[in-house]
Amino acid sequence: MTRRSILALNAGSSSIKFALYDIASSQDLQLVSRGTLDLGDTPTLRAKAANGTVQCERQLAADKPRDAAIGEMLNWVQSEIGERNLLCAGHRVVHGGSEFIEPVRLTPDIIDAIDRLTPLAPLHQPRSLAPVRAIAALQPDLPQVGCFDTAFHQTIDPLVRRFALPRQYEGQGLRRYGFHGLSYEYIAGRLSGISPTLATKRTIVAHLGNGASLCALQQGKSIDTTMGFSALDGLVMGTRCGAIDPGVLLYFLLERGIAAEELQTILYEKSGLLGVSGISGDMRTLEASNDPRAHEAMALFAFRAAREAAALANTMGGLECLVFTAGIGERSASIRNAICEKLTWLGVVLEEHANDTHAEIISRSESKVEVRVIATDEESVVARHSRKVMQA
């Protein structure tokens, strides 16, 4: 019998992460390949097999449009599949609004409906839809599935997601949605797999990368999160400001005469670690720098993360487990230490060597809060949801 495969795609600002899975049984997915299509000045396609063997690393023509690069990625995937049948392509979509709370087959009408949510995520939504449209043009017969970052947070209580605005605006969709849901869903599943008891603990997951947020989990469900109406809210990020007094925005608009488009660029692309340091939005660059501005940016990042974690602990009525994930969360021992030092009053006690070596458990035995480092895998969640949609 011909084996079937699923291609999972996770589009970012200048790259597309992808993973190819075999449907090994009615329940299991088996990773075949994992790679990245970099779409910067030097477009590059890279892929490795599940065992880490390099399968592909080649530069693509820089003068071709993005769709052509996506086409080359698809061609490579098809050549790697061989005798297998590609069942579908699944996509991480940043914003599902109030309508899309479950994964869905991407028809032309659904794609248009998702596109109409672009004002809620003006930079992220077009990036999510670009590979969807490219694949639809290149392989119109290949089914596609959308999996939404906002869907996991549908369990948040209305009180928690409500803004104190005139009530009619909530009916128009102005509320807190939350993001990074596919990552949080993966971590919730991992905790359950590690221990059913662990999965019941009052847990904060810190998804710390270029985009950063926290999520409060109880019984594996989201009950609060730091991102709200947009992916600008909450923590300091690589180039995004995080939570800010709305009076600052009014000042920019009314007193400084800054146009809305310029303000959007400032908030999304020139703020955060980059804005505070004046050096870079990449935590690795800042950690390697001796410039005091770099240290100020990192200190603000840790301070805001710890303050928001305390707020989420209040929502849950306590804290029993803290999980670090994503690029910074998984690889920066110094940032984890800086955040945890500010949470000692909640019972967090790190084990220095375990933290420095990025061990799975980095808290001491006497710590009241179990602190873990777990690598996230959004692509596997996309693949799992895509299979369910195709089997429905």
The model's pLDDT over 266-315, given as tens digits with 9 standing for 90+, comes to 999 999 999 999 999 999 999 999 999 999 999 999 999 999 999 999 99
My answer on whether 229 and 328 are in the same domain is yes
Q: Which residue has the higher pLDDT, 358 or 44?
A: 358
pLDDT of residue 40: 75
In a domain, 67, yes or no: yes
- pLDDT of res. 75: 86
Tell me the average pLDDT across 185-191: 96
Four-CA torsion 343, 345, 346, 352, nearest 10 degrees = 50
Q: Which of 10-14, 122-126, 354-358 has the lowest mean pLDDT?
A: 10-14
Residues 109 and 206 in one domain: no
CA distance 29 to 345: 42
Average pLDDT value over all residues in the chain: 93
CATH number at residue 252: 3.30.420.40
185 located within any domain? no
* Interatomic CA distance for residues 223 and 23, integer angstroms: 32
Q: What is the pLDDT of residues 115-140, one digit of tens each?
A: 999 988 888 899 899 999 999 998 99
Give the contacts of 57 (CB within 8 A, at least 6 positions apart): 44, 45, 46, 47
Is 347 found in the same domain as 204?
yes
Of 148, 155, 208, nearest in space to 182 by CA: 148
387 lies in some domain: no
Which structural domain range is residue 213 located in? 196-373
Q: Average the pLDDT over 16-20 and give the result.
A: 92
Q: Examine the residue annotation and report whether 233 is marked as an active-site residue of this protein.
A: no
Q: Which pLDDT does position 272 carry in this prediction?
A: 97
Percentage of the chain with pLDDT > 90? 77
Range with the largest mean pLDDT of 19-23, 167-171, 197-201, 312-316: 312-316
Q: Within a domain: residue 354?
A: yes
Q: Is residue 384 part of a domain?
A: no
Mean pLDDT over 181-195 rounds to 95
Average pLDDT (364-369) is 96
Confidence (pTM) = 0.94
Residue 53 lies in a domain: yes
Query: What mean pLDDT do residues 65-75 have?
Result: 84
Q: What's the structural domain count of the chain?
A: 2
- Using a 10 angstrom Cβ sphere, with 0-12 exposed, 13-18 middle and 19 or more buried, the burial of residue 189 is middle
Whether residue 222 is found in the same domain as residue 347: yes
Checking if the pLDDT of 57 tops 90, the result is no
| Same domain, residue pair 250 and 334 | yes
Q: Which is the catalytic residue, given 149, 224, 233, 377?
A: 149
Q: How confident is the model at residue 74 (pLDDT cuts 50, 70, 90)?
A: confident
Q: Please tell me the predicted confidence (pLDDT) of residue 234.
A: 96
Residues 207 and 134 in one domain: no
- 139 and 226, same domain (yes or no): no
The count of C-alpha atoms lying within 13 angstroms of the C-alpha of 341, restricted to the half-sphere facing its C-beta, is: 11
- Residue 43 is assigned to a structural domain of this protein: yes
Identify whether 71 is part of a domain: yes
